[in-house]
Structure 1
Amino acid sequence: MNMHQNVAKNLRRIKEIPVLVGSKGKIIEYTKVTSAPAKFDMQKPYFVALIELENGERISAQLVDCEDISEGMEVEGVVRKLFSHGDKGLIQYGVKFRPNI
């Protein structure tokens, strides 16, 4: 089984990823997660934010690549690893948000 091919097929099936990648917005509220579900345990602590996109839609998403976070901070959607299914399992990718560059 070609794992890379399966990942690409899975990404194409997720319709919201192309819409959210590169989307810009601002942080409305955020929180630091210190007690995480098992599949996110390696990432803790991490931040999750309520983000208002430029089109007015509000979503919650994990924040990456930032040390100082504040309400009103401008962010953009990027593809990042969410978690993997075991040591040799399929890697699950999704959209997280980082400060605008």
Structure 2
Amino acid sequence: MYERKQEILTKILRAGRRTYFFDVKATKADDYYLTITESKKFTNEDGSFHFKKHKIYLYKEDFNAFKSILEEMTSFIFDKKGEEIISDHNTEQKFINN
């Protein structure tokens, strides 16, 4: 019988049409890993809508390298372009704790 993996901790970041889900889940060996899911809402011509989702899985053995590269890349962007948001539209961001 299929057993759904329990989510240990979830955080949600809403950013305009995009929503990011950060989920800590347990492996079969009862260790933890992280999934990051981007969900983006699209509206069809008839007014109906659908979501496209992209997901990455991060395991503990990759956390330090991932964090290091993420910090390096975000620092590069802030150093080169500053922290001011340059956009055609304002997007409201909300961070939700679950």
Q: What is the TM-score normalised by the length of structure 2? A: 0.30
Q: What is the TM-score normalised by the length of structure 1? A: 0.29
Structure number, greater radius of gyration: 2
